Structure 1
Amino acid sequence: MPELRVGERSWSVAPGSNLLDALNGNGVAVPYSCRAGSCHACLVQCVQGLPADSRPDALSADQRREGWRLACQCQVIEDLQVHAFDPLTDGRPAVVEALDWLSDSVLRLRLVPQQPLRYRAGQHLVLWAGSVARPYSLASLPQEDRFLEFHLDCRLPGAFSDAARRLRIGDPLRLGELRGGALHYDPDWQARPLWLLAAGTGLAPLFGILREALRQDHQGAIRVIHLAHDAAQHYLAKPLQALAAQRDNLSVELWTTTEAPAALAQLRLVSRQTLALVCGSSASVDAFSKRLFLAGLPRNQLLADVFLGHA
């Protein structure tokens, strides 16, 4: 049977055991959220030996060369020595600069990292509050904001959202892995129609991308659609409308779930050159995507990012 070693501890595991389960089941606390290879909270480094990896595409080539793997996607097939990601030594320190409730369920968290972080609008970052880690999309703009901004959906109880409710100005947090994500802004798109469609806090990365497009003086028409449960949950309505008042090529539409079916049915493309960026829950991304494809949007002109529920 393969031997699994972490620090000074070692124990035998059944061949083919899931690495995340083998670690957590033996007292090595490795956080996780999605168990699908998307959130990257369960990052571990293989010091000796390698597991079987069902998602080799989930990490960069540099990370894989350094031995990093997503524990939830790996099976133990040989003796393996693992270093679990330690936010105190492997993470980057940051402090809470601001906490604001943008609606009764969306908490805006602004962090200032001890050292500047290089990132692009639309990327994700793993946040650590103590031993709890969750990935969140960046809503800030690197060229303009000195802080990192996140929009946390706190409707339902969860380990990280519960911890976030207890945060105070000046509290320390640790920053984990920065991820690319599917969403970004390409300067080559400048003359093309750009649609940004979001549900809930899926608006966070698209807000950063919108500001990046405006910063680069996007010339094509920009259409922003935000789908929320009700009017009170359009948590960025005022800043979006303020931007639209300044730019003739920007329009903002605020949909509620009761209005969505009829509004979706009315979606029409004004140009086959349209690019669509979609973000939200799996159901909302599917609904937006299906309607866009029916309207004639080529599949390679849609970029989508699905938000997974956070525990």
Structure 2
Amino acid sequence: MPELHVGERHWSVPTGNNLLDALNQAGVAVPSSCRAGSCHACLVRCRGEVQDKQPDALSAAQRQEGWRLACQCQVIGDLQVEAFDPLNDGLAARVLRVDWLTPSVLRLRLQPERGLRYQAGQHLVLWAGKVARPYSLASLPQVDPFLEFHLDCRLPGEFSDAARTLKAGDSLHLGELRGGALQYDPDWQARPLWLIGSGTGIAPLWGVLREALRQDHQGAIRVIHLAHDDSAHYLAEPLAALAASHSNLTVELWTAAQLAEALAQLRLVSRQTLALLCGHPASIEAFSKRLFLAGLPRNQLLADVFLPRS
């Protein structure tokens, strides 16, 4: 059987075992979230033989350095593994501000120790001690002098529990910056743009919206935020302020109780429309089905799904 080596430890595992499971079962605490190769929290450096189910999930440079996503790898030979160390492999950041936008949505603003180049809508893995979770950036790099994240804390979780205790001046570490599907393209400037988010899925779209306006988007922009109830529309006021100052922007605030009726009335004004969706899988599926039925070409819908924690 193949042998896994982590530091001074080594042990045998059956051929074909999932690498993340083999590490965690032996007490090597590699964090994970989605187990689908999306969140990148389970990043490890490997020397040896693995079968990678998603070789394109990481960049060529990362793969050359030996980085792999443990959840996507099967052990097929002897393997030396180093877990991602946020202290050495990550980027330190200081907490600037922590505040609650609603009783369940925590806004976290961070200042990295050195500049971070990113685009509105990208993801970043946050580390609090040994706990890692991917979050979408809500900030705009050319405008905001901080990194902003909106954390859904309705349900208990290791990272959200740790985040509740954060205060200004505390330290976190930043892991991998990821592309994400939701980025504004200047070539879209004249086309109708729909930004549809559920829950904290509105966070990256908040950045994308401000980037579109910063680049003087000329087409109509329609923002739809789906929330559990009216009190959960945590960006209602800043969205309304932007709509008041931009005649091509309309904002609609939907609740779960209104969803079926509102979807039934959803119509496309133009087949040139581009739709960017973000949020819970069920919400994305409901919106996507309705938009396709309304005539939106599939290649004009970009979705970023917030996968539930495993």
Confirm or deny a common fold (TM above 0.5). yes
Report the CA distance between 1:57 and its aligned residue: 2.0
- Between the aligned partners of 1:215 and 1:59, the Cα distance in structure 2 is 30
Q: Which residue of 2 aligns with 1:87?
A: 86
Report the CA distance between 1:50 and its aligned residue: 2.7
Q: Which residue of 1 aligns with 2:119?
A: 120
Secondary structure of the corresponding residue to residue 52 of structure 1 = strand
Secondary structure of the corresponding residue to residue 68 of structure 2 = strand
Secondary structure of the corresponding residue to residue 132 of structure 2 = strand
Q: Which residue of 2 aligns with 1:23?
A: 23
Q: Which runs of structure 2 are paired with 1:195-214 in the superposition (5 Å)? A: 195-214=194-213
Q: Which residue of 1 aligns with 2:70?
A: 71
Structure 1 counterpart of 2:129, which letter?
G
Q: Which residue of 2 aligns with 1:11?
A: 11
Q: Which runs of structure 2 are paired with 1:109-148 in the superposition (5 Å)? A: 109-148=108-147
Structure 1 counterpart of 2:246, which letter?
R
Q: Which runs of 4+ in 1 moved over 2 A?
A: none
Answer yes or no: is 1:35 the counterpart of 2:12: no
Structure 2 counterpart of 1:106, which letter?
V
Q: Deviations over 1:182-227 (max 9, x none)?
A: 1110000000000000000000000000000000000000000000
8 Å CA contact 1:134–1:310 kept in 2: the answer is no
Structure 1 counterpart of 2:114, which letter?
Q
Q: CA RMSD in A?
A: 0.8
Give the gaps of 5 or more residues in structure 1: none
Give the TM-score taking structure 2 as reference length: 0.99
Secondary structure of the corresponding residue to residue 98 of structure 2 = strand
Structure 1 counterpart of 2:213, which letter?
L
Q: Which residue of 1 aligns with 2:257?
A: 258
Q: Which residue of 2 aligns with 1:182?
A: 181
- Between the aligned partners of 1:100 and 1:128, the Cα distance in structure 2 is 19
- Between the aligned partners of 1:78 and 1:302, the Cα distance in structure 2 is 41
8 Å CA contact 1:19–1:71 kept in 2: the answer is yes
Answer yes or no: is 1:44 the counterpart of 2:44: yes
Q: Deviations over 1:20-63 (max 9, x none)?
A: 111111121100111111111000011x2131111112111221
Q: Which residue of 2 aligns with 1:270?
A: 269
- Between the aligned partners of 1:15 and 1:298, the Cα distance in structure 2 is 44
- Between the aligned partners of 1:267 and 1:27, the Cα distance in structure 2 is 51
Q: Deviations over 1:64-86 (max 9, x none)?
A: 12111100111110011111100
- Between the aligned partners of 1:15 and 1:130, the Cα distance in structure 2 is 32
Identity %: 77
- Between the aligned partners of 1:188 and 1:167, the Cα distance in structure 2 is 40
Report how many residues are paired.
310
Give the gaps of 5 or more residues in structure 2: none
Deviates more, 1:249-258 or 1:58-67: 58-67
- Between the aligned partners of 1:298 and 1:16, the Cα distance in structure 2 is 40
Q: Which residue of 1 aligns with 2:301?
A: 302
